[in-house]
Amino acid sequence: MPITPANGRTTDNARPSAPGAEAGSTEPIMLELVDEDGVTIGTAEKLSAHLAPGRLHRAFSVFLFDDDGRLLLQRRALGKYHSPGVWSNTCCGHPYPGELPFVAAARRTAEELGVAPALLREAGTVRYNHPDPASGLVEQEYNHLFAGLVRGKPEPDPEEIGEIAFVSPEELAGLLEGNPFSAWFLTVLDAARPAIREITGSAAGW
């Protein structure tokens, strides 16, 4: 299970000036607030939506696999204000208001990992409430799940990602025993498993 550190590639974006701000801008990031059925009911600034007890908002999670059926994991950069330094799924985030979740998932995967999925398909939705004990922030999310394949070489943005690793189910089990993972990781992985198994095949073991 080789673990690859972020390569230090440079980007045209400056570091955000404050939590919840866009890279290179002082403008806050806005999220879509939704009801329990996933219907948009308004917007909120990103950080405020995560303050306890949290406000239900739209999110997405991506699971990409190589041709050997190994899952691409990322360890979130230590500089992130929310869940820094923990392992998580390939990519996750929030659509901009009015942005389709599929478009947001593909966009953010390219921004964080420097690679486009060779295949990306919907894998359902899941609603959850996960407090982050380290930061005190709360994930109240209606999460759109996506699974697919990656064949290009990832070039992770070091401001977003500290390390990446391709893991088999057995290697993932080992990582889970000795390393911190995001509070939402197992919830979204379990919800996406039916689509993951269709993509990777039974031999991959997911």
Rounded CA-CA distance 86/186 in Å is 13
Q: Which run of H or E residues covers position 188?
A: helix 185-200
What confidence category does residue 23 fall into, taking pLDDT thresholds of 50, 70 and 90? very low
pLDDT digits (tens, 9 = 90+) for 149-195: 999 999 999 999 999 999 999 999 999 999 999 999 999 999 999 99
Query: Which positions are annotated as active-site residues?
Result: 92, 141
Rounded CA-CA distance 183/16 in Å is 24
The confidence score (pLDDT) of residue 21 equals 47
The confidence score (pLDDT) of residue 26 equals 65
Beta strands in 71-118 (DSSP E): 71-76, 87-88, 91-93
What confidence category does residue 120 fall into, taking pLDDT thresholds of 50, 70 and 90? very high
Q: Are 128 and 142 in contact (CB under 8 A)?
A: no
pLDDT digits (tens, 9 = 90+) for 123-158: 999 999 999 887 889 999 999 999 999 999 999 999
